[in-house]
Structure 1
Amino acid sequence: MRWLAILWLFCAPFMAAVTYSQSRLPDYPPVVPGQALHFPSDHGAHPDFRTEWWYVTGWLQTADGTPLGFQVTFFRSRPPLDQTNPSRFAPKELLFAHAAVSDPVLGKLQDEQRAARAGFGLAEVAGNDTNVHIGAWSLQRDSGGTYRSVVQAREFTLELTLVPTQPLLLEGERGYSRKGPLAPQASYYYSQPQLKVSGALTRHGKREVIKGTAWLDHEWSSAMLDEHAVGWDWIGINFDDGGALMAFQIRNKAGGKFWAGGTLRRADGSVVALPASAVDFSPRRLWRSPRTGTEYPVSMHIHASDLTLDLVPLMDDQELDSRASTGAIYWEGAVTALHGANRVGRGYLELTGYFQRLGF
């Protein structure tokens, strides 16, 4: 689901020192149903909208068979600042990035973040296709549809090539994804499941060849999280038979289901949009973070249409703690999807709003 409003947490460090005129705030366009997506232009940025992200998650395998999870994310935000300010230094567009490697041998994440205002050649995002970078971190899509990403972090370097093996998956109603009871509470949203991954992971001076399968989300919106909601649970699962499932549940203040939805692509290629009534997340096991004391339902039982799945994490400690920079604390990690005792797929589970309500 990856609802775009979480970007407001990332904007706070920039906006705290900026004053602006209420009469000159940006006029954010709404998300409306029936708006067709057009490619390749919609692979690129949508700078008029409040927030946007390109989110890649997946499973990797080293040459010796060691399983790893990974995440590479680029965010774009148009903050509520005076858009007529002529200064080249005015932060009219902010870019953020996050990358993480989940290694069960280490038992915890290796992760790092970047943040910058767009411009000056240091941080840029294109509007005609996927092409975003912050310094040496980048995600690009070529004319043939292949994505390439490079992340040079302190503890690791990722060099990834991600090749599509099936068509785009338009989430919700042909790319219009509802996130609440009101029509404007929505995003434009598509996914690229079943990406074939190859590349290299370098840690401690050792470069390892890696391969695997990934999932890419691209989502943009101007909406905010409903005042009655506290956070969400989201999954993106690549099934072993070639199918794919995106499902989410937004939770209310009591911890119950406020809104839900998803999209299922079956092995035969048919696609089913899932209404709120067809999706349910039930915790199976909780894990308490030794750092924040937060309890997360890292093992979940999922109902999605006629599917029933149990999600088992690659490792429990996949908590992202960014209080020193962005303020967001959530759990996001690699999971295996089981039907009964049998593995049927792999993907990622995201859990937000458990540390505290997302405050925007």
Structure 2
Amino acid sequence: MRPTQNHLAGTLLIRTRFNQSLILILALGLLGVVACGASAPEATATPEPLVTLPKDEAPHDSGIEWWYFNGLFTDDIGQEYSYHFVTFQSKAAGSVVPHLLQASLGVHSLGEHLTGEKVILDTLKPDAVGLKVEINGWEMQGDGEFYSLEFDLVEYALDLKAIPVRPPILHQGGLVGLGPAGDTYYYTRSRLDTTGSITVNGEQRPITGVTWMDHQWGDVLGQGVGWDWASVQLDDGTDLMAVQVWNPSDRTPFSGYGTLLLADGSVLTIDQADVLITSDETWTSPGTNIEYPSGWVITIPSQELDLQLEPVLVDSEFAGSQYVPPAYWEGEVRVVGTRQGNAVTGRGFVELVGYDPNQLSAPIGTGPSQTP
């Protein structure tokens, strides 16, 4: 489930992942289709796909781009953890490309939620065949068949290897709307088998788990938007992405949509009128005093889908970035509900952006300081 076009600083306005400046409109090529035969009809032009994989795994020279991962894993002694890890890339300034990496780790047994970030000024790689960003022990790289994710927070160090086990999902055909902010290209790899290790105070432990991956890019207008976004992986093999995008000044909806990947591999596109995300509870951050929804219901009437999402760690706020002022809520959820009359369970992640409209419009560099 990230804006102004101030390069790296404008890195946080949609999914996840954030601030106030995103989305491009990639060039749309046309393929000439030539028919053969004595009385062949006139050649027609077929639009090139909006997203082409694996080519589009690689970086684009767009206003804003991000690669996002969330996941749940367990170590060999049964300790459970959740994480999110995202790389934001801004438009190149000459040959220099700014990147902001942000990560969080939920230590469920201790009720801890740790966050950190790093910045790197990289160079343009026009021939890249995938993503590769490395800085001071943090790494995000992959090509659509395999991903390597490494980061450390306080006494924890993660080394995760993730392999997709389901086909990619092109949301809304590959191009989604952010209301007045513009459009972004967007695809998901909804399930990745995850192995690797977590090192805690120098002790390394093997882990296994499941990961969700998103990739978005585009050229976005300097228009603030907020959103409620959720990824859900149900135990019956159904995966769901649902989002509502709104005006942070008055919560007026701009757009909304969902995508349902069924166990048999079929993909259903869910329109705005058929995606309902509601919450009757709130949580107020003791650090920022921002009030967020807490505990959600996602309803998709056309699919007879009714899900309740409860946060595993209520305090899952990412705040205090040195580079992007907006705080946001990003955390693991437990999922229960019904689908076509049958009970379902699962896990997921929720991302909440825009609940502090004043902070979203604050000048770059005015966010509270953070010690990564």
Match status 1:164 vs 2:164 = yes
State the AA in 1 paired with 2:227: W
1:172 alignment partner, SS class: strand
- Following superposition of structure 1 onto structure 2, how do residues 1-360 of structure 1 map, counting pairs within 5 Å? 1=1, 4-5=2-3, 10-11=8-9, 30-31=25-26, 35-36=48-49, 37-47=51-61, 49-78=62-91, 83=94, 92-119=96-123, 127-141=128-142, 145-173=145-173, 175-180=174-179, 185-224=182-221, 226=223, 229=225, 231-252=226-247, 253-304=249-300, 305-306=302-303, 307-339=305-337, 344-357=345-358, 358-359=360-361
Counterpart amino acid of 2:97? Answer: E
Task: Please state how far the C-alpha of 1:289 moved relative to its aligned partner.
Answer: 1.0
CA distance in 1, matches of 2:58, 2:291: 37
Give RMSD over aligned pairs: 2.8
Return the offset for 1:343: 5.0
1:277-334 CA deviation, whole Å, 9 max, x = no partner?
A: 1112111321111111111112111123422111101110100012444322010000
Separation of aligned partners in 1, 2:323 and 2:219:
23
Moved more, 125-134 or 291-300: 125-134
Between stretches 94-103 and 315-324, larger displacement belongs to: 315-324
In the alignment of these two chains, the number of paired residues is 325
1:293 aligns to what SS in structure 2? coil
Aligned partners of 1:334, 1:126: CA distance in 2, in Å?
36
Structure having the higher Rg: 2
- Identical columns (%): 29
Greater mean deviation of Cα atoms: 187-196 or 262-271 = 262-271
Alpha-carbon offset, residue 272 of structure 1: 0.9
Task: Report the 3-state secondary structure (helix = DSSP H, G, I; strand = E; otherwise coil) of the residue aligned with 1:232.
Answer: strand
Deviations 1:20-66 (A, max 9, x none): xxxxxxxx95257865122222111002x101011000111122222
| TM-score normalised according to structure 2 size | 0.79
TM-score when normalising by structure 1: 0.82
Letter in 2 for 1:210: I
Question: 1:203-261, CA deviations, whole angstroms, 9 ceiling, x for partnerless residues?
Answer: 2222221111110001101023645x4x1110111111222111100122322432101
SS of match in other structure, 1:284? coil
**Change in 2 beyond 3 A, CA 1:291/1:325:** same
Q: Which amino acid aligns with 1:359?
A: S
Question: How far does the alpha carbon of each residue in 1:94-150 deviate from its partner, in whole angstroms, 9 at most, with x for none?
Answer: 01101111123332311210012114xxx98973212222332112225x8111112
Q: Note the C-alpha offset of 1:12.
A: 6.1
Q: Could you tell me which amino acid in structure 1 is paired with residue 294 of structure 2?
A: V
Change in Cα spacing, 1:319 to 1:72, as seen in structure 2 (3 Å) is same
